[in-house]
């Protein structure tokens, strides 16, 4: 069968899960009311990640998702049943982190921009990146723009903890956050960054619990 520009010849089937209903998570891109109503109807959770976290889209998606569930009589805390994704880089300062990660961010943007997964890119910028005559002259979003917009976490472990704590406060129902590196980050750098994140950032959140999860536990 045709799939994303190529012919899919093999499909792996797995046994039916023992525990049902199975959680279903769906990436959120356009965030239309129709899409959110479909998700609420079928109990689907949402993933807001990567470039979709930039350009002011997060607040809009959080509120619209909550409203869609409310239309079906289900009250959710803001951020509940959602996962929010960020890219990150840890260094001795925010400026050092942006310098180190800038080239990886740029390559990541060039790839995912063509798929329209980077909200910070306009149609004109995407078209210019395809044209060798224009690519070198077009002004593209920078890692500094991404950090300012909140889609990229950069700085010391303390800086990143503070940024995530601010997100936690803004969206009290949010209890799932995914942090990854830009595509193209060398393996050795990625492993070092993951190790630092696990040891220097995650402990600040290990005992945390969202109000929604705490209520469910009660």
Domain assignment present for 3: no
Rounded Cα distance, 138 and 164, in Å: 32
Q: Kindly state the greatest CA–CA separation across the chain.
A: 61
Can you give the pLDDT of all 218 residues of the chain as single tens digits? Answer: 888 889 999 988 888 888 888 899 999 987 899 999 999 999 999 999 754 455 457 888 999 999 999 999 999 999 999 999 999 999 999 999 999 999 898 877 777 766 666 666 777 777 777 777 776 677 777 889 889 888 899 999 999 999 999 999 999 999 999 999 988 899 999 999 999 999 999 999 976 555 555 444 44
Q: What is the CATH number of the domain that holds 188?
A: 3.20.20.30
Count CA atoms closer than 13 A to 160's CA, side-chain side.
31
Examine residue 12 and state whether it is found in any structural domain, yes or no. no
Task: Provide the sign of the torsion angle of the four alpha carbons 1, 45, 171, 190, taken in this order.
Answer: negative
Evaluate whether residue 109 is within a structural domain.
Answer: yes
| 90 is a domain residue | yes
3-state secondary structure (DSSP) of residue 151: coil
Domain assignment present for residue 134? The answer is: yes
In a domain, 154, yes or no: yes
In 3D space, the residue among 20, 188, 172 whose CA is nearest the CA of residue 84 turns out to be 172
pLDDT at site 146: 86
Q: CB of 79 within 8 A of CB of 164? A: no
Q: Is residue 2 part of a domain?
A: no
Q: Are 62 and 80 in contact (CB under 8 A)?
A: no
Q: What confidence score (pLDDT) does residue 56 get?
A: 59
Kindly give the residue spans of alpha helices, DSSP state H, lying in the chain: 33-41, 57-71, 94-114, 123-130, 132-135, 143-149, 157-170, 187-200, 211-217
Residues 129, 133, 134, 135, CA torsion sign: positive
> Residue 29: how many CB atoms within 10 A of its CB?
19
Q: How many structural domains are present in the chain?
A: 1
pLDDT, position 157? 98
- The two three-digit tokens of residue 193, written as one number: 């960054």
What is the Cα–Cα distance from 166 to 149, expressed in whole angstroms?
Answer: 14
> What pLDDT was estimated at residue 149?
83
Give the structural domain span for 87. Answer: 26-212
The pLDDT score that the predictor gives to residue 59 is 87
Classify residue 1: in a domain, yes or no.
no
């Amino acid at each position: 069968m045709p799939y994303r520009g190529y012919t899919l010849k093999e499909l792996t089937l797995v046994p039916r899960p023992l525990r049902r209903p199975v959680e279903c998570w769906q990436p959120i891109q356009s965030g239309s009311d129709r899409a959110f109503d479909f998700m609420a109807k079928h109990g689907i959770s949402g993933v807001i990640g990567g470039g979709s976290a930039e350009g002011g889209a997060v607040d809009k998606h959080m509120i619209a998702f909550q409203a869609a569930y409310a239309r079906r009589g289900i009250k959710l805390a803001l951020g509940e049943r959602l996962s929010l994704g960020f890219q990150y880089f840890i260094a001795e300062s925010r400026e050092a982190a942006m310098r180190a990660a800038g080239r990886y961010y740029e390559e990541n943007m060039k790839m995912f921009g063509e798929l329209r997964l980077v909200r910070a890119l306009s149609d004109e910028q995407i078209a210019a990146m395809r044209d060798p005559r224009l690519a070198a002259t077009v002004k593209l979003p920078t890692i500094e723009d991404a950090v300012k917009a909140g889609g990229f976490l950069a700085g010391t472990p303390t800086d990143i903890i503070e940024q995530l704590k601010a997100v936690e406060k803004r969206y009290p129902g949010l209890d799932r956050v995914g942090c990854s590196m830009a595509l193209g980050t060398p393996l050795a750098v990625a492993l070092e960054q993951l190790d630092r994140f696990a040891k220097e950032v995650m402990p600040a959140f290990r005992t945390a619990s969202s109000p929604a999860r705490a209520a469910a536990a009660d």
